[in-house]
Chains A and B, each alone.
Chain A
Amino acid sequence: MPKQLITLAVNNERHEVAVDPRWTLLQTIREQLRFTGSKEGCGTGDCGACSMILDGRLITSCLMLAVQADGCDIVTIEGLAENGTLHPVQRAFIDAGGVQCGFCTPGMIMAAKSLLDHDPAPTTSGIREGLAGNLCRCTGYAKIYEAVELAADRMRQATK
């Protein structure tokens, strides 16, 4: 299959990549750019482990072809920490015990970040709504709800 040359801005870095047009965005970012933080749990958009933020929108990158993302701005889990300082959502997931096996964690954190970007003070039901596309099998979500509340509190404090 002839490769197609595309440009992706991933975590504020511009990459020109020759991609197999059948490859998903997730495959290209994991296998070619070697950002392996985003995970493939199902390949059918059901689990959310591959969640990324593309042009400000939360997407499941296993459902998108790499060529469809040509010219887009993408943030993966590797792009959240700045200069070695964790993003408040990342810190809160650790502190609240929202991390167990860790496989859903990158996608879950991207979903939580996207939620808080759009709603800095979500209600309990808003949190449950906002994370409904991400499956976690370890935690029963209890400590993930707690983590998102903690992150929201800390982010609001920081902007005061």
Chain B
Amino acid sequence: MAQETKVHEDKAKQEYRAVGKPVVRLDGVGKVTGHTVYADDMQLPRMLHARVLGSPYAHARIKAISTAKARVHPGVTAVISAADLPPYKKNASNRRGLIFADDEILFEGQAVAAVLADDPLVAEEALALIEVEYEPLAPVVDPIAAMAEGSPLVRSPISDVDRSEERGHVTIEVEQKEAEGKLTNVASQMNFKRGDVEAGFANADVVMENTWRSAMVHQSYIEPHSVIADYDASRDLSVWTSTQAPFYVRDELAQTLGLPENKIRVTATEVGGGFGGKICLTELLTAALAMIVRRPVKYIMSRHEDMLAATPAPQAIVELKTGMKRDGTLTAIQAKLVYDSGAFPGAPMLPGCLLVGGYYKCDNLDIQGYEVLTNKVSVGALRAPGAHNATFAIESHIDMMAAELGLDPLQVRLQNAVEEGDLLPSGQPYPRIGLRECLEAIAESEVWKRRDQAGRARQNGAAPSHRGVGLAVGGWMGGLQPASAIVCLNSDGTINVTVGSADITGTNTSFAQIVAEVLNLPLEMVNVTTGDTRTAPYAGMSAGSKTTYTVGRAVKLAAEDARRQILDIAAKRMEVSPDDLEMMDAEIRVRGAEEKSVTLRRVGRWSTNFAAPFAAVVGRGAITARNMAPGFTAQAAEVEVDPDTGEITVLGFAIAQDAGFAINPLSVAGQMQGGASQGIGIALSEEMLYDEEGRLLNGNLLDYRLPTTKDLPAIEAIIVEVPSEDGPYGARIVGEPSIVAGPAAVGNAVFDACGARLTEAPFTPERVLRALGKI
């Protein structure tokens, strides 16, 4: 099962010793032996366990809370609700700044109170003793109904909306019209227009109009949200948390708790899966509890709590109308995208609006986005947030129009694919991108080659007759934030690298490769540490696929700075010019006179020993990232549909993705396969189901179905390399594009297999049978 191949390989890469080579994760041994420490594995002296009481109602008013009985339960240390909190600075429109509900409940599971005890079971028992009197209010659950005039309101009006977390995932300046205090459930709107869509439709030979729905889904990291907080006698707050965004957590804590940022130490513990869902959630609550009781507090969400009250991904309804000429020219795209934001603003509407009109050259666009509030848990990011919903619509349409006109679905995509200089719907031009190259690569995949076989088998009436192959593209713009890194030389010649970015995808291994490349030494000599927010230089959140693209650049600069310092010391010692020196295998040599050399170890001693003649070697790299490096993908799915049960089996799946330059092809392929599997899950089975009262019906991992080994074949990964302008060695964003095309690719394959066009994801057996006209 060899799954990865590479195309468009840069010939120059042969000269590299460390980057561009598959390297096993440097944190692998700790993980396979169980020694890696996750937040829940830590215990602090006198640590208390917190359990949290969530609201059973999706919309209600709290009339009274009595904690008296819970407080006297044996073993309970404290019971804390909103009334017990100091007057923190809060903004009712920003969920991250709220701890406990004090008045209006806006979604099921919203935190109302917490119990602290030495024994988590005791804390759990005492939750049942907290008495809360609720006045139930009418819940608004369906986003389309919520938009209707006369709909009950989801909540008190919002104002002063903070969109900083969304911008961490995709950083493009656009105009977003906020509701700002108005009595409406539509939190914000945006509109992108180009040309004249009516003229575009008039010019088209085929016009299609459909509505596409995709469900609310959960990131379903296997490690639930996990935090420990401690507030010590020096009034320093320490937080150990499974977060992708330590500096962002610090900033949020500082803002709400009124502490200076340098009094807070946030340590990003090993993240047991994040996928955009582990930015900032329970840190504030846990910190506030620790500050009240002056003891360390651990809060681990149960799986049920995590499904009820974290930040899942939104459902979306996309009304799409498109036109195409007989020759395959796309003439117009008109779209209305409704994203269900849940009870707080923050839905990823922008990326959906950009991508629905962002894959293909098209002169006429009219894209309207609506971010709608409902009484459900508010949503956050899931790997390319908002992108798959919009992509499902446009990529299904492209196939449908091609079929109607008798055009090849791959060719029609190649014909219209955006290239460098084409404009995003928001007006910014694309930099160099690899969408076309991905389409060319997927054409060579084993899975796509079977499309013709499947078609021929059907024509001949030969078995198997319900197999089909489909194709779709996806993409992601990426986030942009400043980044920095430090590279130090130790006295024995080994290298320490310190960064502030949480390593969620193997980025620290890639950083070690970059440093080994610049210093031309064995990878084993480089160690990379993610520091905490007091010791590490700044990095943005590990989200928006930006870590290698931004922090990797800083690491490269820091290594180059360290190299200059090392060569300077060696040059002075050897009485030559630094320009005459080269580094190789932990030695500094005079070029062309190899017998004249010093070891890196000696340079290490000369810059660290007592009364050493030289200053310590400390390389510094700091950058700001202003130019995006979008990543595109093309994916092919082969499915078999059981026409009697409506069950879909994925037989094969291939993903081609432009990584710019794969610093570590092993981890890049792993990201591609993992993201693709999540796209398949969204296509086949993942859906958070709510009843009319806004209560979650399937808040566990049995009824919320993630793909298992039984559902997934070995996914074929094809790495495409079209270098970015700014990324280290040409690397571009990697983590997110892989999830985007799954639902559309599987949907198009199902159509190819049995002629059923699925318009609502996930494609449950019931929906397949309906599309087949069988029920």
Give the interface of A toward B (CB within 8 A): 20, 22-23, 30, 35-44, 46-47, 49, 76-78, 80-81, 86, 90-91, 93-95, 97, 99-106, 109, 124, 127-129, 131-132, 134-146, 149
Contact = CB atoms under 8 A, between A and B. Distances in A.
Interface stretch (B33-41, B150-158, B232-240): B33-41
Nearest to B36: A102
B693 interface: no
B21 to A, nearest CB: 13
A77 B670 contact: no
Interface string B248-264: 00000000000000000
Chain B interface, >50% SS class = loop
B223 A41 contact: yes
Nearest to A41: B222
A142 B711 CA distance: 12
With a 10 A CB-CB cut-off, give which of A39, A90, A143 has the most chain B CB atoms: A143
A140 B712 contact: yes
Interface string B189-232: 00000000000000000000000000000011111100000000
Given A36-B34, A146-B3, A97 B221 contact: no
Closest 4 interchain pairs by CB? A37-B34, A140-B677, A103-B272, A102-B31
Interface string B708-720: 1110101101000
Contacts of A135: 220, 222, 701, 706, 708
Contact of B224 (A41, A134, A137, A144): A41
Contacts of A44: 303, 700-702
B12 interface: no
A99 B28 contact: yes
Contact of A90 (B24, B32, B669, B676): B32
Contact of A39 (B32, B272, B302, B701): B272
B222 A103 contact: yes
B29 interface: yes
B25 to A, nearest CB: 6
Contact of A94 (B29, B219, B712): B29
Contacts of B771: none
A44 B670 CA distance: 28
A146 to B, nearest CB: 5
B25 A94 contact: yes
A138 B670 contact: yes
Contacts of B510: none
A109 B675 CA distance: 22
Contacts of B598: none
A39 B223 CA distance: 8
A142 B715 contact: yes
A42 B701 contact: yes
Contacts of B27: 102
Interface string B158-180: 00000000000000000000000
B728 to A, nearest CB: 21
Given A132-B709, A137-B275, A138-B273, 8 more contacts: A41-B272, A49-B222, A129-B709, A137-B678, A139-B674, A140-B678, A140-B715, A143-B670
A50 B566 CA distance: 48
A116 B725 CA distance: 47
Contacts of A43: 302-303
B273 A101 contact: yes
B600 to A, nearest CB: 28
B121 interface: yes
A145 B714 CA distance: 7
Contacts of B712: 140-142
B137 interface: no
B357 interface: no
A86 B273 CA distance: 24
Contacts of B31: 99, 102, 105
Interface in B34-84: 34-38, 40-41
Contacts of A102: 27, 30-32, 36, 270, 272
B506 interface: yes
B666 interface: yes
Given A95-B24, A135-B222, A103 B38 contact: yes
24 contacts: A41-B222, A41-B701, A42-B700, A43-B303, A44-B702, A86-B32, A86-B33, A91-B32, A97-B670, A99-B28, A101-B222, A102-B30, A103-B222, A124-B1, A129-B709, A129-B710, A132-B709, A134-B709, A135-B708, A137-B221, A137-B222, A140-B712, A142-B1, A143-B670
A140 B702 contact: no
Interface residues of B, number: 62
B709 A97 contact: no
Contacts of A127: 709
Contacts of A39: 38, 40, 222-223, 272
Contacts of A81: 33
A132 B676 contact: no
A106 B35 CA distance: 10
Contacts of B36: 102
A99 B24 CA distance: 9
Contacts of A76: 34
Interface centre among B37, B40, B717 (most CB of A within 10 A): B40
A36 to B, nearest CB: 4
Contacts of A47: 222, 303, 701
A120 B37 CA distance: 31
A101 B701 CA distance: 19
A81 B35 CA distance: 12
Contacts of A146: 1-3, 714
A145 B602 CA distance: 46
B735 to A, nearest CB: 11
Given A41-B223, A102-B36, A103-B222, A139 B1 contact: no
A100 B674 contact: yes
A136 B275 CA distance: 13
Contacts of B678: 137, 140
Contact of A46 (B275, B506, B701): B701
B511 to A, nearest CB: 17
B756 interface: no
Contacts of A78: 33-35
B184 interface: no
Nearest to A37: B34
Given A94-B29, A137-B220, A146-B3, A101 B271 contact: yes
Which among B36, B275, B707 has the highest number of chain A CB atoms within 10 Å?
B36
B303 A41 contact: yes
B505 interface: yes
A101 B504 contact: yes
A139 B672 CA distance: 9
A103 B701 contact: no
Contacts of A134: 709
Contacts of A128: 709-710
B493 to A, nearest CB: 25
B533 interface: no
Contacts of B677: 139-141
B222 A104 contact: yes
A149 to B, nearest CB: 7
A91 to B, nearest CB: 8
A97 B59 CA distance: 46
Nearest to A101: B273
A139 B506 CA distance: 12
A39 B270 CA distance: 13
A44 B219 CA distance: 18
B441 to A, nearest CB: 17
Interface in B371-409: none
Contacts of A99: 25, 28, 31-32
A131 B709 contact: yes
Given A141-B677, A141-B709, A109 B32 contact: yes
A142 B700 CA distance: 25
B119 to A, nearest CB: 8
Given A41-B224, A97-B667, A77 B708 contact: no
Contacts of A86: 29, 32-33
A138 B676 CA distance: 10
A106 B34 contact: yes
